[in-house]
Structure 1
Amino acid sequence: MSESSPSSALEPGTLYVVATPIGNLGDLSPRAVQTLRGADVICAEDTRHSRPLLQQFGIDTPLLALHDHNEQAQAPALVERLRQGQALALISDAGTPLISDPGFRLVRAVREAGLKVSPVPGPSAVITALSAAGIASDRFLFEGFLPNKGAARRQRLSDLAALEASLVFYESSHRICESLADLESVFGDRRMALARELTKRFETILDGSIAEVRARVEADADQQRGEFVLIVEGVADRSAAQLAEGRRLMTLLSPHLPPSQAARLAAEISGAPRKALYARDS
């Protein structure tokens, strides 16, 4: 006896969070197509971007723009639609909504109203990159996009330098070379992977030391185009993590204290050897 297929009808009063392709249209799941066709309205980050995707699959459900600038204001009206029994779908420009994309305010408002939120899983650039990077993925921290300005970017990286988990970042073509230089400056000779244009025609995944990946990108203008996911391995052992944290603290304390006192405090807090910190700063 064959298993019966699930009902195609959507549940009234439910917000469906639907993942869409990050590049390859073949990655849009049958369930996602069914959900987008059956919803009363689709909330899209950029309707101009999403409309061609929907037309490709013969989906003519009405679109409503929902982005960072209007989400808070739109949420009450959308919750009211759900209360009236409508089924709504939420999509982003690409991938899984809410991952460095708008949507969490709406999801929170719906849940606080006691209404149902149902995920329709699918592509995510973070998970796609991790699956092919060859870097430990049992523990990872997703940081989204790094700050635009160099000083703020290096400070953010320094704050993460002592973590043992793998680190995952998004980056744009405008800053990829600068960000790779800052990764090397802060993290040194760690292993990394760079995933570019995932699932698209010019998909590239580079791996090696940060210096090696940086050199390959800087030497090839084509490798500086597109959308990037950067994965950097975490600190390999506890002593290295303590040293990285001690150095971060030294950076914060040195402008305000003599080197020896800054090193002593940084060592007490981090557990790193005081001499190693003092020698590096002197």
Structure 2
Amino acid sequence: MSAQLFVVATPIGHLDDMTFRAVEVLKNVTVIAAEDTRKSIQLLKHFNITTPLTACHDHNESHVISSLIEKLKNGHDIALVSDAGTPLISDPGFKLVRAAQENGIRVTPIPGACAAIAALSSVGLPSDRFSFVGFLPSKSSQRLAQLEKIKDESQTLIFYEAPHRILACVKDMCQIFGADRPVGFAREITKTFETIKKMTLQQLVEFIEQDHHQEKGEIVLVIGGASTDSELNQDQQALDQLLQRLLQDLSVKAASQLAADLSGVKKKIAYQRALELSQAISDNHN
């Protein structure tokens, strides 16, 4: 059988998330191409894996590809790992995998942990359609420009962000997406200080400002998609029906207050709409 390139997912925190198959593959390949050999060697020691390591990261991937492909052509299996999680997901490895495919070498995924999917599965936002955006630009002006391009996307959006930029990033999201856009905040997934919360972007800004421990560790942001026109129309119709019923027995102020509490709509919006409906009812009676 010809050699294979194995793309091996490793734990993102909790070592018990390492699969039996991943351990077996790493023990039996000829060499392991690792994003950071210093980090990977700790994982290998934990599982008593003695396979040699070679570095394959953003700065040298283009240069080491030819030697790795040559090894594969000569019948030596190779495993590709990143520092944590699934390789290629905001990590190096794409160029090596592409080169393997172009050279007719079989690429075999060994599935496992992925921070983006773990976050999506646990924050309670729609998961039937989503886009993985990864890391945004570090400069605010460039970040705002990119957020502006995707603000109207209706599917759930998944981002990675560095801890030292998280507050600035969420403030920029608040500015572009709106303070009320729902967000899932997943930090240090599977680790000791795991934090998983769902709130609005404005609430997340306040949460981080009040607890600077939230500016530490690995962070995933899962942002709810923009409401479509049909959804907005349905929401408007539902609010109107609720207000029309409440206005039969309550004042504009009381009806709008109760409608806001029941529907989650902002009080100002409910009050303005209640005024409009009340006026329309009055005009019809006249």
- TM-score scaled by length of structure 2: 0.79
Whether 1:159 aligns to 2:149 is yes
Whether 1:227 aligns to 2:218 is yes
Of 79, 102, 113, 1:112 maps to 102
Whether 1:20 aligns to 2:10 is yes
* Distance (whole Å) between structure 1 residues aligned to residue 31 and residue 214 of structure 2: 38
CA contact (8 A) 1:167 1:232 kept: yes
TM-fit CA distance, 1:240: 8.5
Structure 1 runs of 4+ with >4 Å offset = none
**What is the identity, as a one-letter code, of the residue corresponding to 1:215?**
E
| Same amino acid, percent of matched pairs | 48
CA contact (8 A) 1:193 1:213 kept: no
- Counterparts of 1:69-218 in structure 2, within 5 Å, are 69-188=59-178, 189-218=180-209
Aligned length: 231
* Distance (whole Å) between structure 2 residues aligned to residue 134 and residue 230 of structure 1: 12
CA contact (8 A) 1:129 1:195 kept: yes
3-state SS in 1 of match to 2:207:
helix
* Distance (whole Å) between structure 1 residues aligned to residue 229 and residue 57 of structure 2: 42
Structure 2 gaps, min length 5: 233-286
CA contact (8 A) 1:162 1:240 kept: no
Structure 1 gaps, min length 5: 1-10, 242-282
Cα offsets for 1:233-271 (capped at 9, x unmatched): 011113789xxxxxxxxxxxxxxxxxxxxxxxxxxxxxx
TM-fit CA distance, 1:222: 1.2
Of 21, 32, 51, 2:41 maps to 51
CA contact (8 A) 1:92 1:102 kept: yes
CA contact (8 A) 1:218 1:224 kept: no
TM-fit CA distance, 1:73: 1.3
* Distance (whole Å) between structure 2 residues aligned to residue 164 and residue 221 of structure 1: 31
3-state SS in 1 of match to 2:86:
coil
* Distance (whole Å) between structure 1 residues aligned to residue 126 and residue 231 of structure 2: 17
**What is the identity, as a one-letter code, of the residue corresponding to 2:208?**
V
* Distance (whole Å) between structure 2 residues aligned to residue 122 and residue 236 of structure 1: 32
- Counterparts of 1:54-65 in structure 2, within 5 Å, are 54-65=44-55
Q: CA RMSD in A?
A: 1.2
Whether 1:41 aligns to 2:28 is no
* Distance (whole Å) between structure 1 residues aligned to residue 230 and residue 20 of structure 2: 49
Cα offsets for 1:58-106 (capped at 9, x unmatched): 0010000001111111111111111111000000000000000000100
* Distance (whole Å) between structure 2 residues aligned to residue 142 and residue 45 of structure 1: 21
Larger Rg: 2
* Distance (whole Å) between structure 2 residues aligned to residue 47 and residue 12 of structure 1: 26
TM-fit CA distance, 1:13: 1.0
**What is the identity, as a one-letter code, of the residue corresponding to 2:42?**
P
CA contact (8 A) 1:22 1:124 kept: yes
Cα offsets for 1:16-60 (capped at 9, x unmatched): 000000000000000000000001000000000110111000001
Cα offsets for 1:101-122 (capped at 9, x unmatched): 0001000001100110000000
**What is the identity, as a one-letter code, of the residue corresponding to 2:111?**
P
- TM-score scaled by length of structure 1: 0.80
CA contact (8 A) 1:18 1:89 kept: yes
3-state SS in 2 of match to 1:174:
helix
* Distance (whole Å) between structure 2 residues aligned to residue 12 and residue 47 of structure 1: 26
* Distance (whole Å) between structure 1 residues aligned to residue 98 and residue 27 of structure 2: 24
